[in-house]
Structure 1
């Protein structure tokens, strides 16, 4: 993947790193999705295929937004993308897709589905903190993001956690990014934002002058954004490399 800062701040002097949550720090639980999809579709899936499928879900959202399609309720679009990566192609309204969405939303009401933590995430946040970066969260969420981060053991790393449900603005609205800048007392050029959806995370961050980095584990966004990494474990080395070039 291109490791240049072509879409980010040309000469980065980042003091703060702000994160998205879903698809960046936490993923939908692959085991739960496998259990539900397996029951509806009558098949079993490997853990590796399920992880790749949940990572592909946000690619589907980027593809739709790039094509100018209205997103509307994003659950069918996201879960449809997950199932497509598993080899099942459904249209909105198809009964198997609708049943998977219904069951997964019910599971989500019982316990937040976005609860899967990739290995190495804690260590990366610990290293960034030890190196003096101010860390924060900007999330489009339903009021649960702080509790999600507490349960995952990640909340103590962050100076602030902005949940769109409470602040009244959603990415890519510049307002939520400006609230984060005020909370951190930093200027836009001093901040790198990391997310997984180009049209929501990267465009929103760049719209206020922040640097923007997209996590692209399946390498499916080369035509949308050049500043990408496959996962967070590559971030410390990438930051060191960016700093040495500035």
Structure 2
């Protein structure tokens, strides 16, 4: 049975149903989590502790699950993995061309961290990072519980998180719980067949309000990254 909201027109109600379905839940739970997230954000914005509110929300069952959305179907898609692995970038050494892109992203958006990430079947490999110091190839490969880029890949669209600590989906992720990340903005790197192989992302340990301008800047830099990854070498004339 379709759940409708009186202030939503037919199109908005359809979009609401689709968003809830993509989040793996029903409309009522989806709306409850969105309202809960806004309540927590409003309290924190006015310097009021949200600890009691979060406790009641958890007791009510709105935020009672530690489970993250299941993205395994998209992440493990054979065609996507073939596209990723054919680039030859997994476990490859640093490349100044990608380092320039991540530095530009961090500087343009004013964040301490930026990365070109490649999402494999069970790990995220950072082809380039800004703000993490010099890392070995081994150190640039991280398990999914230390990354959220796989969710950007699964969505195939920009993932915008202003404060993961109050986000009903991501507040239970280890990077949010541990305080390593609050704000995140990620743009998928999509090949010509529509497969997202990774992201260009920026993040901050403090909350951020991302504007449409921020999304556009990062999208433009992501397009440059895609062109670099999937560039076709010029053919030699006979």
Fold match, TM over 0.5? no
Which structure has the highest helix share of the two?
Answer: 1
Q: With CA pairs under 8 Å and 6+ residues apart, which has the higher RCO, 1 or 2? A: 1
Larger Rg: 1 or 2? 2
TM-score when normalising by structure 1: 0.29
TM-score by length of 2: 0.30
